[in-house]
A and B are shown apart, each in its own frame.
Chain A
């Protein structure tokens, strides 16, 4: 069975600071990995996805994520956060062979002035 762990339920950072949200996955095969964001009163939206190749993938709004097979991780990063980045971020895994997605519990990001 596969699973996704986001160890930090809540993260608070100052505007302009850098950000890393952690994600660990458990899956014996080759995973397809995603980050989705849920803004207040909006539906979930895709930030980025990773299939293979370069372990660093770029997403929208300056977000990037780095895949590490040895660490079973897929951490999300941003160099300088803005107050509008305040939202809940979900790490998501899909196994090969089907289109069933497994979500982590989410990390609630608060950006303060």
Chain B
């Protein structure tokens, strides 16, 4: 069984630039999560989906961040105008019927 895949693995931007992160969850998993993990901190939930529906995006900075999962499979997280404070690792996880999250390797973002 293939795991959760994410791309790109690394991104380096100047402030004000846009970037998109892509996640392919485990096949059949209906729930998908995006987390932001600053250096030496725990993951912080940004948004999660069940199928194509957003269940909770209360921690997503809506002025610059957006996330979609149009067919209930792959998902894209986009930052419109990056800031230095967005420097972090962005993690995608998926969950099937059990109460276990399966995480991808993450995308490390550096905003200069």
Q: Which residues of A contact B (CB under 8 A)?
A: 4, 9, 32, 34, 36, 41-46, 49, 90, 94, 98-106, 108
- Determine which of A99, A104, A105 lies in contact with B48 in the assembled complex, contact meaning CB atoms within 8 Å: A99
- In the bound complex, CA of A102 to CA of B44 (Å): 7
- In the bound complex, CA of A90 to CA of B4 (Å): 19
Q: Which residues of B contact A (CB under 8 A)?
A: 3-4, 31, 33, 35, 40-45, 48, 55-56, 91, 93, 95, 99-106
Closest chain B residue, CB of each to CB of A106: B42
- In the bound complex, CA of A104 to CA of B35 (Å): 13
Contacts of B100 in A (CB 8 A): 46, 49
- Determine which of A42, A101, A106 lies in contact with B105 in the assembled complex, contact meaning CB atoms within 8 Å: A42
- Determine which of A9, A49, A101, A108 lies in contact with B45 in the assembled complex, contact meaning CB atoms within 8 Å: A101
Quick check: A100 and B105 within 8 Å, CB to CB? Answer: no
Quick check: B43 and A46 within 8 Å, CB to CB? Answer: no
Answer whether A43 and B4 are a contact pair too, CB < 8 Å, given A94-B99, A100-B56, A101-B101.
yes
